[in-house]
Structure 1
Amino acid sequence: MISSQDWADTRRLWDYHQMGHSVRPCSVAIGLGSHDLGVADTAADLYRRGMAPLLVFTGATSPTTRQRMPRGEAVHYRERALELGVHDSAILVEPRARNTGENIRFSRAVLKEAGVDVASVLLISKPYEERRAYATARKLWPEVEIISASTPMSLDEYVDSIGDARLVIDMLVGALQRLLIYPEQGFMISQHVPADVLQAYERLRQRGFTSRLLRSDAASS
């Protein structure tokens, strides 16, 4: 059972994971591959609004997307964007990346090969991955401005879209864990985590929301 305290703690994590950046026109928008076609929808919307003249979709397949996106996350994103009216000439596909770091590195390489001059990036992810995506991009591509974006929605709306409240909480806890440990491993920049967010994270771990924790940490929780 998910208690009222669990939900209060989950909202603290949800609010922290979102960067609150104001979207503005950038050199390119990069949609990070996942199970969520909403990333492609948001990329197409930003393109139509003139926020980016070019879209890059990046992502291979994973155990969670192989059945739903057998041709690869980036390819399915491209197909979705075309359905929504994005011009084919405005889409680049990066089909090999299997994690956020590879999303950034491989997209950067694709843009360089295409001769695109990049000064700023609209980085589009799932709502609870905004901060992780931002921290990774800042580490691997420090010379460009990074603006995090995602589909505008509340926690309740996101839970409804996934249909599994416990899974959503597990994902938020796992994303926070990575923000804490990945900077030491050189995968992303370090960011301040407020005390109330840390306390919420620890309470949720103790309550058993641990399925998305990295294995070594999950074993000690």
Structure 2
Amino acid sequence: MISTQAWADARRLWDYHQVGHTPRPCSVAIGLGSHDLGVADTAVDLYKQGMAPLLVFTGATSPTTQERMPRGEAVHYRERALELGVPSSAVLVEPNARNTGENIKFSRAVLEEAGVQVTSVLLISKPYEERRAYATACKLWPGIEFVSASTPMTFDEYVDSIQDAHLVIDMLVGALQRLLVYPEQGFMISQPVPDDVREAYERLCRQGFTSRLLATNP
């Protein structure tokens, strides 16, 4: 049973993880691989709105996607985009990345190899990964303007789509921990974390929403 306080704290983290950027036309859109095909759907929607002339899908497989996406996250994303009407000439695939940092570094390399001139990037991720993707990209690809985007949905809608509230809260907590500790390790730029967000995170940790935490003190 998840307490009323835990639900409120989870919503606070959810809101913080979304950076509130308004999508605008960029040189390219990069869809970060995951278990969520909604990332590909949103990338296609933005492509059709004229927000980017080219899509890059990045991602290998992970324990959570190996069965669902045996050919790799980026490959399945590409197949989804083609099903939805995007021409193959408008899609590049980066099939090797296994974390957010590699998503950015390897996508950059693919674009450089293809001779694509990039000044701005529309980053498309799961809703609770917007801030992490943005902070990572700013660190690893300086001089580029990044706009974060995800499927527009509420916390309750996302929980309903996953059908596992405890797991969703675990993921929100894990994403917040990385925003706290990764800047010191050089993996992303530092993001200001309001006191109420930190307090919500700490309460959720104490209540056991810890399955996605790194092996360090939360």
- Please classify the TM superposition score into its range, dividing by the shorter chain length: over 0.9
Residue in 2 aligned with 1:111?
A: 111
CA distance in 2, matches of 1:194, 1:215: 24
Residue in 2 aligned with 1:88?
A: 88
Pairwise CA distance, 1:215: 2.0
Aligned length, in residue pairs: 218
CA distance in 2, matches of 1:22, 1:58: 22
**Any unmatched runs of 5+ in structure 2?**
none
Partner letter of residue 26 of structure 2? C
Residue in 2 aligned with 1:10?
A: 10
Pairwise CA distance, 1:142: 1.4
CA distance in 2, matches of 1:197, 1:95: 34
Q: Report % sequence identity.
A: 82
Match of 1:215, SS?
coil
CA distance in 2, matches of 1:208, 1:59: 29
Residue in 2 aligned with 1:41?
A: 41
CA distance in 2, matches of 1:202, 1:142: 32
Pairwise CA distance, 1:57: 0.2
1:1-221 aligned within 5 A: 1-217=1-217
CA distance in 2, matches of 1:204, 1:142: 34
**Any unmatched runs of 5+ in structure 1?**
none
Partner letter of residue 15 of structure 2? D
Pairwise CA distance, 1:146: 0.2
Moved over 2 A (4+): none
TM-score (norm 1): 0.98
CA distance in 2, matches of 1:96, 1:206: 36
Match of 1:136, SS?
helix
Pairwise CA distance, 1:216: 2.7
Partner letter of residue 44 of structure 1? V
Pairwise CA distance, 1:95: 0.3
Partner letter of residue 90 of structure 2? A
TM-score (norm 2): 0.99
